[in-house]
A and B are shown apart, each in its own frame.
Chain A
């Protein structure tokens, strides 16, 4: 079974600084998707960024980028120029490419932005 691990329960960063959230996963599949979701206090889960495992290039979305290390099964999220609105729970998630389409989530990292 696939597992996703986020080893940082909480992180904090100064506004305008850069922060990196860590995620590791375990799978025997060669092709799959990885995601970072943001969950603000309103609870609505929002997709931040996604990475296809068969793509070597790291995904980027504006201030958000990932460092995908397939051999190490590592998938970290870098947030540049942190803003107060970035404060939320961040979840790393895995999904198979074929077959069952359910998301497997990590335990989450609570990100605090200090003004």
Chain B
């Protein structure tokens, strides 16, 4: 079956632009996670959804970051007024339940110029 997909795979934005990153989880997976991976670092947790409810957003670095999952399936991570320090790979993961194995997507590499 299809795995987790993310789009776009690469995004270049000028500083100050808004961007939207999309995640399509594995069909039927209840839990969805977003992570940010800076160059040469391990992923860091951003936020977590169970169905459409955002249960943990403690990792979002600022109020410029916003995530949604309105129908409990596809999720969008939006970054407003992008800054250079937002440059990173954004990984999405889904799991059947929150305590099951997380399956990762290929990530979106965001470069802010």
Does A101 touch B at the CB level, under 8 Å? yes
Which of the candidate stretches A11-19, A61-69, A103-111 sits at the interface with the other chain?
A103-111
Does B63 touch A at the CB level, under 8 Å? no
| CB neighbours of B104 from chain A (8 A) | 44-46
| CB neighbours of B59 from chain A (8 A) | 102
* Cβ-defined partner of A91 (8 Å) among B33, B42, B101, B106: B42
Please determine whether A103 and B107 come into contact, CB atoms closer than 8 angstroms: no
- On chain A, the number of residues with a Cβ less than 8 Å from chain B's Cβ atoms is 20
* Cβ-defined partner of A101 (8 Å) among B31, B41, B44, B89: B31
Please determine whether A42 and B43 come into contact, CB atoms closer than 8 angstroms: no
Please determine whether B43 and A103 come into contact, CB atoms closer than 8 angstroms: yes
Identify whether the interface residues of A are mostly helix, strand, loop, or mixed. Answer: loop
- On chain B, the number of residues with a Cβ less than 8 Å from chain A's Cβ atoms is 25
Does B80 touch A at the CB level, under 8 Å? no
Please determine whether B89 and A43 come into contact, CB atoms closer than 8 angstroms: yes
| CB neighbours of B44 from chain A (8 A) | 105
Does B102 touch A at the CB level, under 8 Å? yes
Min CB–CB distance A114 → chain B (angstroms): 22
* Cβ-defined partner of A100 (8 Å) among B41, B42, B56, B95: B56
Does A84 touch B at the CB level, under 8 Å? no
For the A-B complex with A42-B106, A101-B48 known, give 9 more contacts whose Cβ atoms are closer than 8 Å: A43-B106, A44-B106, A45-B91, A47-B102, A50-B101, A91-B42, A102-B45, A103-B45, A106-B42
Cβ contacts A to B, 19 pairs, < 8 Å: A4-B42, A6-B42, A42-B106, A43-B107, A44-B104, A44-B105, A44-B106, A45-B93, A45-B104, A50-B101, A100-B56, A101-B31, A101-B33, A103-B35, A103-B102, A104-B45, A105-B42, A107-B41, A108-B42
Listed in ascending order, the chain A residues whose CB lies under 8 Å from chain B are: 4, 6, 42-47, 50, 91, 93, 100-108
